[in-house]
Amino acid sequence: MALKDVGNKVPIYKLKTTSEVMKYYDEWGEQNKYNKDMVEWNYTGPQETVEVFKKYELNKEALIFDAGCGTGLVGLELKKFGYKNFYGADLSQKLLDTIPNNLYQKLTKVDLNKAIDEKNDFYDSVMCVGTFTFGHVKPQALDEFVRITKKDGLICFTINEGIYKEYGFDKKIDTLKKEGKWKELEFFKSDYIASKDVNAWLGLYRVNK
């Protein structure tokens, strides 16, 4: 099957380096353009992911880490379903600055390709939506997510279908299963950005340690 030419539909997918991505997002965040584009593109990643997540995370007081939170679209979905305690982290300060006040308990500028400055077993759950994609965060971030999540906690994420094998996410997910670090609860292909014919794998795993 031929690969989809998603680079022309979603320009950021053509970028290769962290600095290129950060510059693009800083410009994308101007005048609410990012959020407007997400609505126009029918970006359903946040809704789909939280719909799956809420079936398993029944504790509305759970401390949740929204890794790559962008403009807070996942946070808005979490709030809609009664979750109260979530921290957000993103590479772009410009996007963080657009997040509504008092939505997140804490916001931090973070490069998720590096070690996360949090203690082991700190969070009840980790969400990562729209961040595992072309030129963005690599598979080793999953090791960090496992490290900072409590035993029996949840890790819920999307992976753009175009990088799933190319970046080695398939191998990393399998390795974590074989090592007994986590257990698969859900893994399927979601619509993600249907208007651009871009799909993503949606995964939900319970941490074993």
pTM of the model: 0.82
Domain segments of the chain: what residues?
11-29+43-207
Mean pLDDT taken over the chain: 85
pLDDT in the model for residue 8: 42
The answer, yes or no, to whether residue 155 has pLDDT greater than 50, is yes
Three-state secondary structure readout of the chain: CCCCCCCCCCHHHHCCCHHHHHHHHHHHCHHHHHHHHHHHHCECHHHHHHHHHCCCCCCCCCEEEEECCCCCHHHHHHHHCCCCEEEEEECCHHHHCCCCCCCCCEEEECCCCCCCCCCCCCEEEEEEEEEECCCCCCCCHHHHHHHHEEEEEEEEEEEECCCCCCCCHHHHHHHHHHCCCEEEEEEEEEEEEHHHCEEEEEEEEEECC
Question: Domain 11-29+43-207: what homologous superfamily?
Answer: Vaccinia Virus protein VP39 (3.40.50.150)
- The 10s digit of each residue's pLDDT in 39-63 is 554 567 899 999 999 999 999 999 9
Q: 80-123, pLDDT tens digit by residue?
A: 999 999 999 999 898 899 999 999 999 999 999 999 999 999 99
